[in-house]
Chain A
Amino acid sequence: MLTLFLIFYPVVAATLILMIRGERVKQAALVAALVEFGFVAFAFAGFRPDASSQFGFDYAWIGSLGIRFSAGIDGISILLVLLTGLLVPLIVLSTFKHSYKQSSLFYALMLYMQAALMGVFTARDGFLFYFFFEAALIPIYFLAAMWGGSNRVAVTFKFFVYTIFGSLFMLLALVYLYYQTPATDLSAHSAAIADFYKLNLTPAAQNWLFWAFFIAFAIKMPVFPFHTWQPDTYVESPTPATMLLAGIMLKMGVYGLIRFILPIVPLGVETWGRTAVVLAVIGIVYGSIIAIRQRDMKRLIAYSSFSHVGLMAAGVFSLTETGMQGALIQMLAHGINVVGMFFVADIIFSRTNTNQLDQLGGITKSTPRLTVFFMIMLLGSVALPLTNGFIGEFLLLHGVFTYNHYLGLAAGFTIIFGAVYMLRMFQKSMFGMPSARTESFADLSSTESLVFIPLVVLIFWIGIYPQTFLKVTEPSVVSIMKYIGTTAVSLK
């Protein structure tokens, strides 16, 4: 039942917020998001670390077709539910300095988005998953297109059509799977994801199903060469929308890989997995190299995000337990880091009116707090030991390396390149002589610091004691691995 609250409470809260006018909207939205986080924390604390699905509910939705309104939290879902519950209040808090026109609509859309994301990460029915997967797109589209930059309409439209196009193929795959499930006169077919796992699909079917799913998720993440919508959308969207996109929404793709592709079409993965890993590794290197050349902070972070998510995809397709565990922990870590990074970019932009690196510089002089927080976010992103990025990237690289030494080596460049572009960004923006724009740069206000503090705590928590998070995911990962039939490289 708790899952039902997690999905429906934000919808109710958002609808109430729509009716509020004036300044109190921000506070109301923050309170609403914090209450949701309370539910999430309660779920995380009460979660038994085994492979079962917990806190679930199950109602008939389209009864005669056997399509059910059914959701629950298992080890794969829990970290993403946690991530969603955690980031949304921080994202709301990060907007306190801004005043958006039609602000009640703005915050309501964010909470609608949160509800849809919760639905995606907990759905146990294939069609329910699809329903939320698409439903998440509508609020984020309006967020980006109504409050974004000057070129927002064209850019967000490309994003919308691109992602819908991809997921239509997933819809076909789901309908096909649905008709493969056994049906008798008494019971209809089933769309339960657990029933999809039990199917014995022919290799030919698995091959096309692999691509139908992969294209949908690859566009969402995005994996090379489906990434062309991403940098522009991240740059043009208002920063809170970018945070939602990069912090949470792209995880829908990685989650889909683990939830759908690996267990349902293992033979398809055997045939095409290598292609997918190669694409992902190309994306890692390509994204890093482009990031090095960027002059705009937001665009740089966008490409770095593209590069990082490629590593997650490669880790999942390495078919090792370490790779998959790494992907899960890295989803959490990346969500935290990228939100922090975009917030830094947003703070700099709000004070200097630019994100161009060559117009910045010398900010450290007057801003000890920002410098420290920025540095910690950055170290997390470049995977320094004792930070969250290290745990994730180490496990992922270990997985990819076990899968194929050469690909592992190529993917390893991500750490070196990552350090190059991140440190370059830090150096160009923070060090050096102050420019005209940065001369009177004010340090963080207390609200702004308040956003960073939880992020910093988590960066070190995951970096120093990842066991809290790894142990809840492990049983579910092991149970997914069973469908793949590879010898799992156990993680001890």
Chain B
Amino acid sequence: MLPIVLLSVLGIVLLFLGFLKSRAVLLPATLLFLAVTLAVNFLDWNKTYLFFNDMLRTNNLSMVFTAIMLGSAFMVVALSGSFMDTDEAQPAEYYALMLFSLVGAIMMVGFENLIMLFVGVEILSVAMYVLTGSDKRNLRSNEAALKYFLMGAFATGIMLFGIALLYGATGSFTIAGIGAYAANQQGLSLLLYVGLLMLLIGLLFKVSAAPFHFWTPDVYDGAPTIFTAFMSTVVKTAGFAALFRLLSVSFEGVYGFWWTILAIIAALTLVVGNITAVYQNSFKRMMAYSSISHAGYLLIGLASLGAQTKQAIVFYSLAYSVATISAFGVLLLVARQRSTQTITGEGVITENFDSFNGLARKNPLLGFTMAVSMLSLAGIPLTAGFWGKFYIFSTAVERGQIWLLVVAVLMSAVGIYYYFRVIIAMYFRDGATETIQVAPFYQYVLLGATIITIGLGIAPGLLQGLF
């Protein structure tokens, strides 16, 4: 509750700060706002409250998800300095939109009523549509925004339709009411099933699960890198938190109906994401497909809903978010440094694997950060990503989903292939070996992310008291 109010107010404050002559104040201000919100978020620890006519609930789980998203946003903003310096950029608007989108994301993790879920999804999405197209001069950015908007609007429509059908079936918008109906219903309830399916489709679109993923590569590729990082972490975490809440509270009673669907979608997502990622030449596009594949792993956790699922999803989201943001953080630096001048004098930013060649020689810290985040995304021990996969696999074993696990294991091996392309490029290939200047603060953020990844990889029990 408090984070929602704070972020809304502070977002407006940020817009007004934009009138100031000096832009330099914006970034620290946003960071401060996010830090305050993060602290405030934990005020209600161990208490459960209902807000807005019982439409929103905060509990420990929602606070942990909120904290992950705020933390991710904090890191993204901290890494955004270079992008905001260009003349056309309007940092105040960007930061305000990020805060507003976080409001939507927080509503998605704590909703008690499907209307609230819908409103949350919309707040998050509309802000993201704008941010995707924020690079106004860039054709690809515009294309991405349009694509994202059209497809997203379509998906939201389906989702709203689903909510209406669920209301028709159960006579309730609250997830508890739907849950009571689903637990007691007998026989086949067509309205309920169709409604659930449509609602799922809407949310699966947001987390870019196959076959609803087609927008992802283009949008991730076209959007400015800093917003790609935001999109692939905050939006995904919010989407999975919402899916988890929905399925565990409302639809546990009809698990038999939806688990096969989710399992098939999970397998499909894993195969599509991983296999396609192998064929990419652009690092950014590879990360887009990698984000699809990670949605697949998280879906395995949902499809084998059980006592471990909560922990698995929280840990996985955290590990994935940290690794993804630091990877994009390094990409931002490298892409800026290695951008080539074309004849017309315009800088062309190269985001291919080749631009990482020889990076680790002169920039050991950047190389190490990138290597750790790639290892984490690939799920190699000593990193948080390993334990994320471990928890996910555990849930699936608990439910006895062996064939799904076999797919996941095969695809993990494929994943190693494309993540290691980056490591190989950085460490073993020759390339331009100039030193990249990194601002100290930027360095601390990258270092912090690396420490989190390794720390959680060595002592995954650290998070245990949290939920």
Contacts and interface: CB of A to CB of B under 8 A. Distances in A.
Instruction: Give the contact-size bracket for chain B.
Output: 20 to 34
Contact of B428 (A61, A146, A176): A146
A131 interface: yes
A171 interface: yes
Contacts of B424: 145, 153, 157
Nearest to A175: B397
A153 B420 CA distance: 11
Nearest to B360: A146
A251 B316 CA distance: 33
B393 interface: yes
Interface in A145-198: 145-146, 152-153, 157, 160-161, 164-165, 168-169, 171-172, 175-176, 178-179
B390 A171 contact: yes
A130 interface: yes
B155 to A, nearest CB: 34
Interface in B227-274: none
A63 B461 contact: yes
Contact of B464 (A62, A135, A152): A62
Contact of B427 (A62, A64, A146, A172): A146
A160 B394 CA distance: 24
Majority secondary structure, A binding face: helix
Contacts of A175: 390, 393-394, 397
A158 B428 CA distance: 15
B409 A172 contact: yes
Nearest to A60: B461
Contacts of B17: none
B382 interface: yes
Interface in B382-436: 382, 386, 390, 393-394, 397-398, 405-406, 409, 412-413, 416-417, 420, 424, 427-429
Contacts of B464: 62-64
A1 interface: no
Contacts of B168: none
Tell me the interface secondary structure of chain B in the complex.
Answer: helix
The number of chain A residues touching the other chain, given as a range, is 20 to 34
B381 interface: yes
A157 B413 CA distance: 12
B393 A164 contact: no
Contacts of A164: 380, 413, 416
B393 A172 contact: yes
A461 interface: no
A153 B143 CA distance: 38
A164 B381 CA distance: 10
Nearest to B427: A146
Contacts of B413: 161, 164-165, 168
A313 B100 CA distance: 62
Given A146-B427, A152-B428, A61 B459 contact: yes
Interface string B198-214: 00000000000000000
Given A135-B382, A160-B416, A172 B397 contact: yes
B380 A172 contact: no
Contact of A134 (B380, B417, B460): B380
Given A60-B461, A63-B461, A142 B416 contact: no
Given A146-B427, A152-B428, 15 more contacts: A60-B461, A61-B461, A62-B460, A62-B464, A64-B461, A131-B381, A145-B424, A145-B427, A157-B420, A161-B416, A168-B409, A168-B412, A168-B413, A175-B394, A175-B397
Interface of B: 375, 380-382, 386, 390, 393-394, 397-398, 405-406, 409, 412-413, 416-417, 420, 424, 427-429, 459-461, 464
23 contacts: A60-B461, A62-B461, A63-B461, A131-B382, A134-B382, A135-B381, A137-B380, A138-B380, A153-B424, A153-B428, A153-B429, A161-B413, A161-B417, A164-B380, A164-B416, A168-B412, A169-B409, A171-B393, A172-B393, A175-B393, A175-B397, A179-B394, A179-B398
